[in-house]
Amino acid sequence: MLNRYGDIIFSGALAVIAIIYLGLSFNIPQNSAMPYGSDLLPKLAGAGLLVACIAVLIGATKRLVTGASKSAPAASPAAGVEGEEAESAAPPSDYRKVLYTFMLILLYVALWETIGFLIMTAIYLFFQFIVLSDRSERRYVVFAVTSIITTAAVYYVFVQVLSLTIPGGLLG
């Protein structure tokens, strides 16, 4: 049952959390000197999460009504498993990727203020790219350059465009 209704249950529960998060973001005091402030990002994140949950919920409901599965092949002949059993058996590497992602996020949050936004964000993105890519597709130079450019762009938007402060950490 969880396999069949998993996306609906998960996206519905996450949508409730997104609504609560979005509602609480309206309690963040606004800066009266400018039209945007520290409340902008939480509102955007909450709205984005809610939209994503609704999209997953709609897609899962359509699949349930039409009887289609998430993936095109309905059976896995190599394993000798068919139908729902094939869908429920995710490869162990997927579970490891999720675990490594949570570990990276925890490290990022724990060290963000001490080490600083620029260094920690670039390091986090670099290792997240490694975790999410297949071994044969890892291009470390591309990952490093992308991490640095993305971090610099986000920093520029927050500091120069939005006039928000971001922890400098080791860079001051």
Asked which of 89, 107, 136 is the last residue of a domain, the reply is: 89
Q: Confidence band (pLDDT; 50, 70, 90) for 76?
A: very low
What number of residues does the chain have?
172
Between 31 and 48, the more confident residue is 48
Q: Confidence band (pLDDT; 50, 70, 90) for 143?
A: very high
Structural domain containing residue 12: 1-89
Structural Rg of the chain based on CA atoms:
20
User: In the predicted model, is pLDDT for residue 36 greater than 80?
Assistant: no
- Assess contact for 25 and 42: CB atoms under 8 A: yes
**Same domain assignment for residues 12 and 33:** yes
Instruction: Calculate what percentage of the chain has a pLDDT beyond 70.
Output: 78
**Same domain assignment for residues 61 and 97:** no
User: In the predicted model, is pLDDT for residue 78 greater than 70?
Assistant: no
Q: Confidence band (pLDDT; 50, 70, 90) for 29?
A: confident
What is the rounded distance in angstroms from the CA atom of residue 76 to the CA atom of residue 131?
A: 26
Mapping DSSP onto H, E and C, the string for the chain reads CHHHHHHHHHHHHHHHHHHHHHHHHCCCCCCCCCCCCCCHHHHHHHHHHHHHHHHHHHHHHHHHHHCCCCCCCCEECCCCEECHHHHHCCCHHHHHHHHHHHHHHHHHHHHHHHHCHHHHHHHHHHHHHHHHCCHHHCCHHHHHHHHHHHHHHHHHHHHHHCCCCCCCHHHC
Between 76 and 1, the more confident residue is 1
Please give the pLDDT value at position 100.
Answer: 87
User: Is this prediction's pTM over 0.75?
Assistant: no
**Same domain assignment for residues 84 and 94:** no
Between 148 and 114, the more confident residue is 148
**Same domain assignment for residues 71 and 141:** no
**Same domain assignment for residues 95 and 69:** no
- Assess contact for 8 and 70: CB atoms under 8 A: no
**Same domain assignment for residues 50 and 61:** yes
Q: What is the mean pLDDT of the chain?
A: 79
Between 8 and 144, the more confident residue is 144
**Same domain assignment for residues 143 and 108:** yes
Q: Confidence band (pLDDT; 50, 70, 90) for 20?
A: very high
**Same domain assignment for residues 38 and 85:** yes
Rounded to 5°, angle at Cα 85 from 1 and 8: 35
Of the listed ranges 57-71, 77-91, 110-124, the least confidently predicted one is 77-91
Q: Confidence band (pLDDT; 50, 70, 90) for 92?
A: low
**Same domain assignment for residues 23 and 78:** yes
Single-letter code of the amino acid located at 93: S
**Same domain assignment for residues 1 and 16:** yes
